[in-house]
């Protein structure tokens, strides 16, 4: 079968890698793709947020399955256009993607369905929002309602910070995404991402993963798209795991009860609080970089799973997982998440990828005409290692990272460090 993947990050290189390994996959296209997908698929230039353009490509190339990686095309309704034309698609339509596309919608949904989450209020009016912040006092979490590439959230420790965050939002810092503001109670605890396959009826959870959002060691510096990740998460108790799975199944049931046909990956971002896991957010897609540690542990054929999701046949699928632990370290361009140079030659990749148990997923890379691999983004590579123990996977990932170089590159040295120390590492 012919498959089209939309996106260009490490997530899409990981998804494409495992689709390409399937005996069911004949031709694989990635739009727009990156330097990594170029070697396992045909990269195609396409406006992935334009449903009509994606549909035209799919029809012209006899595509049987489209897998949508990032949130923007989901929120734009690309999956609806494809499904309406009879093309199988992994990814929810615009109605389901609102769970990620609007935090106010998502919080109201959680409340309506009694899903555990932080107390909140949402405002379309600046003065009302400022008055609420003064009344509540710090700490508070201020969120732009719409998509803001992970930058729309301020965890404000002081009243001034919270007021400034509200001002920023209404002053247009996030454009239309900030026209509504969500203000939340601050929760405490370790964070944990639980991704699940769902066809709108059946929910099959993947193993929990934990991302590292801050740029620098010790969870310091600005927030990023994610600097490293591991899976499973050793500090999650069986009770917490069961509670998160219950929330995910109830979410799927609630979507269905509201008439929302959700087929794809549902991502629950949880905080493991003293009162149990609480939802921080939903994403309507695979996590990046979570995918880079979750999919390498999946033994079941990914094409079969994604097709079953798209065709609402997931009840017939049983997922099988490797016992290994997975750790992934992001190598980023100097300056990220601020401005950074592009076009720098990358060395050492073959030696790193030759280590047994190591896979290097590309994010911001491109192949030059002469075949040289160049940096082409902020997060450049995801170095994933599988190991029989958590520390074996971590040590192997860093052994591989040390072989790779480009000018100015940096990475965090402490991915998984807190997990090794246990739960007490999250207590302050």
The footprint of ligand GLY (CB under 6 A) covers: 211, 226, 283, 287-288, 290
- Residues numbered 115 to 144 that lie near ligand AMP (CB under 6 A) are 118, 141, 143
CA distance 72 to 285: 10
The residue among 87 and 272 lying less far from ligand GLY, judged by its C-beta, is 272
* Contacting range for ligand AMP; rule: CB under 6 A; set: 27-35, 182-190, 333-341, 368-376: 182-190
- CB-neighbour burial class of residue 106 (10 A; exposed 0-12, middle 13-18, buried 19+): buried
Q: Which residue has the tokens 């700490």?
A: 139
Tell me the residue number closest to ligand GLY, measured at CB: 287
CA distance 201 to 213: 32
From ligand AMP, ligand GLY, none, interface partner of 281 (C-beta below 5 to 8 A by class) = ligand AMP
CA distance 4 to 313: 20
CA distance 260 to 239: 29
Nearest distance from C-beta of residue 366 to ligand GLY, angstroms: 22
* Binding-site member from 153, 243, 373, 401 for ligand AMP (CB under 6 A): 153
- Is residue 294 near ligand AMP by the rule CB under 6 A? no
From ligand AMP, ligand GLY, none, interface partner of 280 (C-beta below 5 to 8 A by class) = ligand AMP
The residue among 118 and 284 lying less far from ligand AMP, judged by its C-beta, is 118
**Site string (375-414) toward ligand AMP, x via CB under 6 A:** ----------------------------------------
The residue among 151 and 173 lying less far from ligand GLY, judged by its C-beta, is 151
How do beta strands 191-198 and 264-273 pair?
A: antiparallel
- Residues numbered 227 to 286 that lie near ligand AMP (CB under 6 A) are 269, 280-281
CA distance 25 to 1: 5
Task: Quickly count: other Cβ atoms within 10 Å of residue 131's Cβ.
Answer: 12
Please say whether the beta carbons of 376 and 35 come within 8 A. Answer: yes
Nearest distance from C-beta of residue 49 to ligand GLY, angstroms: 18
Q: Which of 306, 286, 284, 309 is nearest to 109 (CA)?
A: 284
- Residues numbered 191 to 220 that lie near ligand AMP (CB under 6 A) are 191, 213
From ligand AMP, ligand GLY, none, interface partner of 290 (C-beta below 5 to 8 A by class) = ligand GLY
Please say whether the beta carbons of 11 and 292 come within 8 A. Answer: yes
CA count, 13 A, side-chain hemisphere, 390: 17
Please say whether the beta carbons of 198 and 252 come within 8 A. Answer: yes
Name the residues that contact ligand AMP, by CB under 6 A.
Answer: 118, 141, 143, 153, 155, 184, 186-187, 191, 213, 269, 280-281
């Amino acid at each position: 079968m012919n498959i089209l993947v939309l996106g260009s990050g490490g997530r899409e290189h990981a998804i494409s890698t495992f689709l390409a390994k399937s005996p069911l996959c004949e031709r694989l296209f990635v739009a727009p793709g990156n330097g990594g997908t170029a070697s396992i698929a045909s990269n195609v230039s396409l406006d992935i947020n334009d449903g009509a353009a994606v549909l035209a490509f799919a029809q012209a190339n006899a595509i049987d399955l489209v897998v949508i990686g990032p949130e923007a095309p989901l929120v734009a309704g690309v999956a609806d256009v494809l499904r309406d034309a009879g093309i199988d698609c992994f990814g929810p339509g615009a109605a389901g993607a609102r769970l990620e596309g609007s935090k106010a919608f998502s919080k109201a949904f959680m409340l309506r369905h009694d899903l555990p989450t932080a107390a909140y209020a949402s405002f379309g009016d600046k003065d009302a929002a400022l008055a609420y912040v003064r009344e509540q006092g710090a700490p508070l979490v201020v969120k732009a309602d719409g998509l803001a590439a992970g930058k729309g959230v301020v965890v404000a420790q002081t009243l001034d910070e919270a007021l400034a965050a509200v001002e920023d939002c209404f002053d247009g810092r996030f454009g239309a995404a900030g026209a509504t503001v969500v203000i939340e109670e601050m929760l405490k605890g370790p964070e944990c991402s639980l991704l699940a396959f769902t066809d709108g009826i059946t929910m099959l959870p993947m193993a929990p993963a934990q991302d590292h959002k801050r740029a620098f060691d010790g969870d310091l510096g600005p927030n990023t798209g994610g600097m490293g990740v591991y899976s499973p998460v050793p500090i999650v108790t069986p009770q917490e795991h069961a509670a998160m799975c219950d929330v995910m199944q109830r979410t799927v049931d609630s979507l269905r009860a509201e008439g929302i046909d959700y087929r794809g990956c549902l991502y629950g971002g949880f905080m493991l609080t003293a009162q149990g896991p609480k939802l921080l957010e939903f994403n309507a897609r695979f996590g990046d970089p979570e995918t880079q540690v979750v999919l390498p542990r999946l033994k079941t054929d990914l094409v079969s799973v994604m097709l079953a999701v798209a065709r609402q046949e997931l009840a017939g699928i049983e997922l099988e997982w490797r016992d290994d632990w997975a750790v992934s370290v992001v190598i980023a361009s100097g300056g990220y998440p601020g401005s950074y140079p592009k076009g720098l030659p990358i060395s050492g990749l073959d030696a790193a990828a030759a280590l047994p148990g190591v896979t290097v997923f590309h994010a911001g890379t491109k192949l030059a005409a002469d075949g040289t691999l160049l940096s082409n983004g902020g997060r450049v590579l995801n170095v994933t290692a599988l190991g029989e123990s958590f520390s074996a996977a971590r040590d192997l990932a860093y052994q591989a990272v040390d072989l790779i170089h480009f000018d100015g590159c940096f990475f965090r040295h402490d991915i998984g460090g807190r997990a090794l120390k246990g739960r007490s590492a999250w207590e302050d």
